Structure 1
Amino acid sequence: MKFKLICSKKNEYTLRKQLENAGFDISDDADFVISEYHKPKDFLMGRIHETYEVLPLNTILYIETFGKEVIAHTQDQQYVLSEKLYQLEEQLGEQGFIRVNKSQLINIKHILEINPWFGQKYNITMKNHTEIDVNRTYYKRFKAYFGI
């Protein structure tokens, strides 16, 4: 049986050797996960090129769909996620992520500015200066969330 190891780069070599010596087969394409993190809802796994990395939720500015891929954006990187956007919306709602349009979730902790826009819309500027629109479908929910 194969296991995927999720840990910090600092501990990876030591943990991998200990687990392999104990008879575990460690592989990045495994279905089962061994993690050094205590709270799995504090991070996501993202792929950049062919490498999987741990993404702490507090580093993610926004998540969007682009074609069939779901992409998490941090300040300086983009990671492909395996979850669907609607699954992430359900999973991350309590962690400060809110759906603002059909294809994007934002992390409210990384909002730089909120500007009202024409026709029941808002324009949001994230800390990396990306501009995201809240469309009419999500307008009322957005207003209620922030009490505006």
Structure 2
Amino acid sequence: MVQLVCSPDLRARLERELAAHDVELGTGNRWVLVERGYEVPVGCPAIVFDALDFMDVVRLLVAGVREQHGAVRSVVGQRGSAFVVLTAREVVYLEAAAEGIVARTASGRDRVRGTLQHYEVSWAGLGFVRINRSQLVNLAHVREIVPWFNSRYVLRLAGGEELEVSKTYAKRLRSALKI
């Protein structure tokens, strides 16, 4: 269980994000998330964070919960009128498209439920990294990283596709790859 000590506006956002990842909230806590500037409760582990970094805290907490319970390593996708089970390993990248979130695999494109933000948090430990506003890539399928102009990169994937890493997300990619 997680207890929140923060402003009411941030509380609403944190409750929504944590509920999306099935993290229980309450006072019988194992962890406390404390917004910087608020009093830290005594007697249980606390994570103190800046309000602007609340999604990083959610990622950290969810990654820990997933490690304890085992990460969700598959998703159900829709291919035409049939449903298919896709493992995270076979998903090359996820993207926001007109029809919703689409998982690109070697065998095609499948519509999946959820949001990119959900997959960014829950599959981060499986090697998925956000590369722009509309795409997450599985680093296991990246064959080449090409420096591009204006502090950006182009990722060449195993299947020959190329995806552009925006300047905003290039720093996160470098951090994830330790380059």
Normalising by structure 1, what TM-score?
A: 0.71
| Cα distance in 2 between the residues matched to 1:48 and 1:68 | 12
SS of equivalent residue, structure 1 residue 78:
strand
Following superposition, the deviation at residue 40 of structure 1 comes to 6.8
Which amino acid is the alignment partner of residue 130 of structure 2?
R
Q: Provide the residue aligned with 1:122 in structure 2.
A: 153
1:136 equivalent among 156, 163, 167: 167
2:144 counterpart of 1:113: yes
Which amino acid is the alignment partner of residue 110 of structure 1?
H
Following superposition, the deviation at residue 68 of structure 1 comes to 4.6
Alignment of structure 1 residues 1-148 onto 2, 5 Å: 41-148=72-179
Distance 1:93 1:68, change over 3 A: same
Following superposition, the deviation at residue 141 of structure 1 comes to 1.0
Question: 2:71–2:122: 8 Å Cα contact kept in structure 1?
Answer: no
SS of equivalent residue, structure 2 residue 72:
helix
SS of equivalent residue, structure 2 residue 106:
coil
Following superposition, the deviation at residue 56 of structure 1 comes to 1.0
Which amino acid is the alignment partner of residue 81 of structure 2?
E
Q: 1:94-142, CA deviations, whole angstroms, 9 ceiling, x for partnerless residues?
A: 1110000000000000001100000010000111111001111101111
Structure 2 runs not aligned, ≥5 long? 1-69
Q: Which structure has greater strand proportion?
A: 1
Which amino acid is the alignment partner of residue 132 of structure 2?
N
| Cα distance in 2 between the residues matched to 1:55 and 1:85 | 16
State, as a whole percentage, how many aligned pairs show the same letter.
Answer: 28
> How many residue pairs were aligned?
111
Give the CA RMSD over aligned residues: 1.5
| Cα distance in 1 between the residues matched to 2:94 and 2:159 | 13
Q: Provide the residue aligned with 1:15 in structure 2.
A: none
